[in-house]
Chains A and B, each alone.
Chain A
Amino acid sequence: MRFLPLVWAGLWRRPLRSILTAICIVIAFVLLGLLEGVNAGFARAIANAHRDFLVTNTRVRGGAPMPISAMAEIQSLPGVKEVAPRAYFMGRDRDPSLKSSIVAIATYPELFFQMLPGLRVTPAALEALRADRAGVLATPALLDARGWKVGDRITVQSMTAKIDGSTDWTFDIVGTFDTPLANAPAYFGVINYAYYDGYRASDRGTAEMFYVHIADPNRAVAMSAAIDRIFANSSHETRTRSQQARAELQAKQMGDVEFFTDAIMVAVLFTLAFLTANTLRQALHERAREFAVLKATGYSGVRVLSLAYAEALLLCLPPAALGLLIARLLAPLAKADIGAVVVSPRVAAAGLICAACLALLGAALPARSLARMPIAAALGKG
């Protein structure tokens, strides 16, 4: 006899109950998918961060920036491959209705793009930036957001005054670069440190951050300490951390995200387990007699049990999959605010395993009592 049609028919005996239960499962898994997606987003940001990539800041944030000469000292440490400076350019559109700031990293572009994992730039764009001191490379997202295009000359108002007293900075957009690893679209530009530093009125000859690429990722902690030791007790003490340590820190700063998402997931799963178990209990109990008939016609106990479990799986898995799919479709909507919701295949797999456990656990008790029930007693039921 055919197995699947029998399972299918069992599920549709009480269509309303099956459908309502399925809807609950879909909804629960939308939520579980999204929450697990948030966790996975943070975890991915940490995992993607490189350990061989260090960032040196001033020890006291907000303190005076570090002299650019410190770069040479860092470079001289054995095990350091490259060092690039970063100064931060922040400005606003001259149109006051565009409120968000425009941010650019002033650095040595060639070194920067060579060192920084997760940025992709064409040699032509890099060459164009080298050729034009006042050039800027921007992410496509930034160009879209501002309505700019490659070839435009833009003027940005900055809080940093120029040596001539003006706060208007002019840049040529000479190309774009991509951030394929980022969770959310990035809105920033890369400009020549020489141009920015050459024209700014204050803090000349300084950087507020150094990017350091080291040869051996396993020595990240020791190298960080070694760099900080160079500047200990100087006027510009530093604090160096690997990119990975920074990503972890960032996730923690947000608040206790994981605690909250985990607590909610536990509550949702518990509630759902209760609901599914109850539905399955009802569904299997009221058909005790049918199962007895199957047994009387020669079905083995195992076969009947597997029918019950198959029905439970069929009730739980497809709705769970649908819920995870919806979560995946919804995830991009949250991107602008949360930045990192990744409903990856791994999240989906974890969700489906969860759903399967839910089904098997829910079916276990009623199925056991069915299997144990003497045929005669069950036939006499209801």
Chain B
Amino acid sequence: MSLPSQAAALTANGLRHVPQRLGGSLVVVVGIAGVVAVLIPVLAMYLGFRATLRGDGRDDRAIVLSRAAEDESESSLSRDAVAVVANAPGVRRDASGEPLVSAEVILPAPVARKRDHSDVSVTMRGVGAQYFALRPELRLIAGRMFRPGNQELVVGAAARAQFEGLDIGNQVRLQDGDWTVVGVFAGGNGSRESELITDATTAMAAYKLDSFNSMTVALSSPGALAPLRERLAADARLFVVVRSEPEYLEGAASGVNRLLRLVTYAIGSIMALGALFAALNSMYAAVASRATEVATLRAIGFAAPAVAIALLAEALLLALAGAALGVALAYAGFNGVTISTLGGALFDSQLVYSLSVSVPLVAGTIGLACALGLAGGLLPAIRASRASIAEGLHEK
């Protein structure tokens, strides 16, 4: 018999006897399933958060902040600065010749989270008239747009689903009394759907503010960024920096991002290590309990490598079974669950995102499970194939 067919025969034989060694085999399955079932939601949380933050970055859009400001909440732009930037070359104009820009102000709006009724805050963004033209990925899906001069809000669909009191017709208590929800917008993959929008000038009047936080401009082309940046830097009236949107989003909410990454990798690696030793343990036990069997097989002519390969294959298949179980648990429990955590545009405002048990995520964790199974099976397999036949036959 050739080596592959020997290995296949031995694997089949080994698997047939799994029921007799059920405890040990289940340790591998349950151990790996535990890792996968924990790792998938934790990773999905981190990936969902990161994807939502970086969501809709386009390199033909740029964010203008005041110099030294790392994010919108720290930035402050005067009306004059906004006018200068809007008319700079390189800024795209719409059909009627108006510059495609939105000068924005961000403010916290207190809301209650539906799930636990806890008080949290979301970002209320005062935007310019061109907001939707500038962000074609967003569109109004219900109700109507706010009218400048009225204290009206249009809410993001994600925010509306996650927080109480954001349905059309609801009043939200903010500065200067109640603000009415008049519409819902949706679209894009980013953080904007976690926000409420209103007219910037109206918000600034109500909050007695005289400067904007940030400004989004559409570029005539991605290449227009560098000249625009130089030109604005050279303008003595201005104290601003321009970043392309992807560049800006990359740096946003780095604190929460770092935290989630740390937690994800810490938990993931500790659990993987634990599962590795669990797999090692039970594969060694499997080998030990079959010492006589292995020696007999080798005595009747099975090659040592075939024995090793069969053991590895068994470990791999058990790991795969565990991975399948873990994926099923994680999918049932967490797929499509929408959560909110810190991470909005203001330091304490909420970002809404959903956990998606995606194909790459599942593939990645299954890969990890296989690696764990193989690593756990390798040493015991080598030991089994090297053990002396004579001693093995004598062992009870």
Q: Which of A210-245 contact B (CB under 8 A)?
A: none
Q: Please pick, from A31, A61, A99, A337, the residue contacting B274 in the complex, using a CB distance under 8 A.
A: A31
Q: Is A270 an interface residue (CB 8 A)?
A: yes
- Which residues from chain B contact A59 at a C-beta distance below 8 Å? 173
Contact of A337 with B258 in the complex, beta carbons under 8 Å: yes
Instruction: Output the least CB separation between B122 and chain A (Å).
Output: 11
- Which residues from chain A contact B26 at a C-beta distance below 8 Å? 274, 278
Q: Is A181 an interface residue (CB 8 A)?
A: no
Q: Is B42 an interface residue (CB 8 A)?
A: yes
Chain B's closest residue to A202 (CB) is: B210
Q: Please tell me which stretch of A129-137, A190-198, A250-258 contacts chain B, meaning at least 4 of its Cβ atoms lie within 8 angstroms of it.
A: A250-258
Instruction: Output the least CB separation between A35 and chain B (Å).
Output: 8
Contact of B110 with A61 in the complex, beta carbons under 8 Å: yes
Q: Is A128 an interface residue (CB 8 A)?
A: no
Q: Which of B258-297 contact A (CB under 8 A)?
A: 258-259, 262-263, 266-267, 270-271, 273-275, 277-278, 280-282, 284-285, 288
- Which residues from chain A contact B34 at a C-beta distance below 8 Å? 267-268, 270-271
CA distance in complex: A270, B278 (Å)? 13
Q: Is A45 an interface residue (CB 8 A)?
A: no
Contact of A24 with B274 in the complex, beta carbons under 8 Å: yes
Among A14, A28, A252, A255, the one with the most B-chain Cβ atoms within 10 Å of its Cβ is A255
Q: Which of B28-45 contact A (CB under 8 A)?
A: 30-31, 33-35, 37-38, 41-42, 45
Contact of B30 with A279 in the complex, beta carbons under 8 Å: no
Q: Which of A308-329 contact B (CB under 8 A)?
A: none
Q: Please tell me which stretch of B130-138, B334-342, B384-392 contacts chain A, meaning at least 4 of its Cβ atoms lie within 8 angstroms of it.
A: B334-342
Chain A: interface size category: 35 or more
Q: Please pick, from A27, A63, A96, A279, the residue contacting B270 in the complex, using a CB distance under 8 A.
A: A27
Q: Please pick, from A14, A27, A249, A255, the residue contacting B339 in the complex, using a CB distance under 8 A.
A: A255
Asked if A16 meets B284 with Cβ closer than 8 Å, knowing A30-B270, A60-B174, the reply is yes
- Which residues from chain B contact A382 at a C-beta distance below 8 Å? 396
Chain A's closest residue to B284 (CB) is: A16
Contact of B38 with A249 in the complex, beta carbons under 8 Å: no
Q: Please pick, from A34, A99, A249, A275, the residue contacting B70 in the complex, using a CB distance under 8 A.
A: A99
Q: Is B68 an interface residue (CB 8 A)?
A: yes
Q: Which of A139-189 contact B (CB under 8 A)?
A: 157, 159
Asked if A159 meets B76 with Cβ closer than 8 Å, knowing A249-B119, A253-B342, A337-B259, the reply is yes
Contact of A254 with B281 in the complex, beta carbons under 8 Å: no
Contact of B266 with A275 in the complex, beta carbons under 8 Å: no
Q: Please pick, from A35, A249, A278, A337, the residue contacting B27 in the complex, using a CB distance under 8 A.
A: A278
Q: Is B150 an interface residue (CB 8 A)?
A: no
Chain B's closest residue to A90 (CB) is: B74
Among B45, B118, B258, B350, the one with the most A-chain Cβ atoms within 10 Å of its Cβ is B118
Q: Is B120 an interface residue (CB 8 A)?
A: yes
Contact of A252 with B31 in the complex, beta carbons under 8 Å: no
Contact of A252 with B120 in the complex, beta carbons under 8 Å: yes
Among B76, B175, B258, B275, the one with the most A-chain Cβ atoms within 10 Å of its Cβ is B175
Asked if A20 meets B280 with Cβ closer than 8 Å, knowing A31-B271, A60-B173, A270-B34, the reply is yes
Q: Mark B185-209, 1 if CB is under 8 A from A, else 0.
A: 0000000000000000000000110
Instruction: Output the least CB separation between B34 and chain A (Å).
Output: 4
Q: Is B348 an interface residue (CB 8 A)?
A: yes
Contact of B258 with A60 in the complex, beta carbons under 8 Å: no
Q: Is A380 an interface residue (CB 8 A)?
A: no
- Which residues from chain A contact B208 at a C-beta distance below 8 Å? 64
Q: Is B23 an interface residue (CB 8 A)?
A: yes
CA distance in complex: A264, B208 (Å)? 47
Contact of B119 with A17 in the complex, beta carbons under 8 Å: no
Beyond contacts A31-B270, A60-B173: 18 other A-B pairs, Cβ-Cβ < 8 A, are A17-B281, A27-B270, A59-B173, A63-B175, A157-B68, A254-B342, A255-B341, A260-B41, A267-B37, A267-B38, A270-B30, A271-B33, A271-B34, A271-B35, A271-B278, A275-B27, A282-B24, A282-B285
Interchain residue pairs with CB less than 8 A apart (5):
A61-B121, A62-B207, A252-B120, A271-B278, A278-B282
Residues of chain A whose beta carbon lies under 8 Å from any beta carbon of chain B: 14, 16-17, 20-21, 23-24, 27-28, 30-31, 34-35, 59-64, 92, 96, 99, 101, 157, 159, 249, 252-256, 260, 263-264, 267-268, 270-272, 274-275, 278-279, 281-282, 334, 337-338, 382
